[in-house]
Amino acid sequence: MQYSFAARTEVMLSSPLHLIRSLANRESFISFAEELPAEELFPVSSLEAAAAAVISNSPTALQYGEPQGFLPLREWLSEDWKRTKRIDVGPDQILLTTGVQQAMDLLARVYVEPGDRVLVESPASPGYLQVFKMQGAVVIPVDSDQNGLIPERLLEQIERTQPKLLVASPNFSNPTGVLWSLERRKEVLDLCREHSILIIEDNSYGDLYFEKLSQREFTSLYPSLFAMDGSGSGQGVLYIGSFSKTIAPALRTGWAAGSRPLIDMLAAAKQLADWQSSTLNQRFLHNMLESSAFDIHEHIKMLNREYDTRLKLMNGLLQRPAWQDASYVIPKGGMFIWLQLPDGLDSLALLKCALGKGAAFLPGTLCYPDGRGSGWIRLNFTHPGRDELLLGMSLIGEAIGEFTARS
């Protein structure tokens, strides 16, 4: 029979994202394109102990659980955020999701009508752009610089488009790795409050900072918009994040935190979407986090030392001749270097050449809703080990060499 798919599916099929991801997933590639943490740093033995304890403890762990997510894990988050992030929310203000992607998707489903304008910090994570397009939103990029979103650009777009939402990642935006200044945080929050624009604050990468600061010091210098808005009492910010980058992606455990009306609505949508995420995995996490043998904050410090080492290695490789006309700013955290290619070099053409040699990266065009970004690429420095980093960067360097030699 002839299928008659909904018109909105055209958005999904028209994107090159799917193809590039499946190409780069092949094992024979060295991929700088993905958003993957380092496998060799996963807390395997802690998780193994947690799984054994949870499964043997009570068959209830294998039953359907609470749609909003395993309560003790939400309680743990609530306590931890109070101590380390100056965020003060109750467990009933937290919804556990299947990663941040689901948190973003649920928000889009309950908040966006076709034709609504959604502002997105630009450049942006490709997966998010499509979520809003699927709901029929008009996605409008708002430019950022090295201090974060530019307030003047934000105000221009607010006045021009009367948007409903702003999507932003003040801590180590994907792809740019920018850490917003305190002043910018204040200005953006004030503008959005004034115009009743809901902010989706994505903190996926917020714990991966490489400066020598304690969690509390870091939080004082760079408070989340959510904390500045009164942790839900201001009602103006939805705070999303996950354990994918700090513990392990396969647990697929993320969250949305916000005011009760917002979380209640998202929880209702979650039940229709999949009834609930794996409460078994949520129990594993809770058991680990409560165990005396595992300290997540020490674990994150270890990750940050290692990722900083990999970033320095990549930065060293970028000093080689092939890259001499590329430009970038060394990020203070996160997982990516956002790099401008030598003049006239197109990222998709370069990708095709690099794939032929066995290395991949994310072309910048995927990070813009409007075709810009062809001169930019995103390089992930957390997943490849030392040898892969050396080889992969050399292969991409070769590809660049071939293009620049021709011109």
Q: Coil, helix or strand for 184?
A: helix
Task: Give the helix ranges, DSSP H, for 40-86.
Answer: 44-57, 71-85
**Least distance CB 378 / a copy of itself (angstroms):** 17
Amino acid at site 216:
R
Report d(CA 279, CA 63) in Å as an integer: 9
Nearer to a copy of itself, 64 or 319 (CB): 64
Which CB atom, from 196 or from 291, has the smaller least distance to a copy of itself? Answer: 196
Footprint (CB under 8 A) of a copy of itself, residues 233-272: 234-236, 244, 248-252, 261-262, 265, 268-269, 271-272
Task: Indicate whether 42 belongs to the interface with a copy of itself (CB under 8 A).
Answer: yes
Going by C-alpha positions, the residue among 315, 316, 356 that lies closest to residue 332 is 315
Footprint (CB under 8 A) of a copy of itself, residues 301-340: none
Rule CB under 8 A: choose which of 69, 123, 127, 177 binds a copy of itself.
Answer: 127
- 379's tokens: 């390089």
Q: How many residues bind a copy of itself (CB under 8 A)?
A: 78
DSSP 245: T
The verdict on 28 binding a copy of itself (CB under 8 A) reads: no
In sequence order, what DSSP letters do the residues of 299-316 get, joined into one string?
Answer: HHHHHHHHHHHHHHHHHH
Is residue 275 at the binding interface for a copy of itself, with CB under 8 A as the rule? yes
CA geometry: angle at 70 spanning 109 and 277, to 5°?
A: 45
Part of the chain binding a copy of itself (CB under 8 A), chosen from 55-63, 75-83, 342-350, 360-368: 55-63
Among 6-14, 81-89, 151-159, 167-175, which window interacts with a copy of itself (CB under 8 A)?
6-14
Give the N- to C-terminal CA distance of the chain in Å, as an integer: 51
Closest CA to 95 of 65, 69, 64: 69
How many whole angstroms separate alpha carbon 197 and alpha carbon 119?
9
CA–CA gap between residue 280 and residue 58 (Å, rounded):
11
Q: Which of residues 195-214 bind a copy of itself (CB under 8 A)?
A: 196, 198
The piece of 46-54, 83-91, 145-153, 289-297 that touches a copy of itself (CB under 8 A) is 46-54
CB of 199 to a copy of itself, least distance (A): 10
Does residue 44 touch a copy of itself according to CB under 8 A? Answer: yes
Per CB under 8 A, 190 contacts a copy of itself? no
Nearer to a copy of itself, 51 or 390 (CB): 51
Of 93-122, binders to a copy of itself (CB under 8 A) are: 97-99, 101-102, 105, 109-113
User: Rounded to the nearest 5 degrees, what angle is found at the Cα of 267, between the Cα atoms of 263 and 270?
Assistant: 140
Q: Please report whether residue 353 would count as binding a copy of itself according to CB under 8 A.
A: no
Instruction: Spell 190-211 as b/e; 16+ CB within 10 A means b.
Output: ebbeeeebbbbbbbbbbbbbbe
42: closest CA among 258, 296, 261?
296
Contact status: 278 vs a copy of itself (CB under 8 A)? yes
51, 71, 348, 391: which one binds a copy of itself (CB under 8 A): 51
Cβ 273 to a copy of itself shortest distance, Å: 5
Return the structure tokens found at 56: 């043997």
- Residue selected from 20, 29, 30, 34 as contacting a copy of itself according to rule CB under 8 A: 34
- Positions in 136-175 near a copy of itself (CB under 8 A): 164
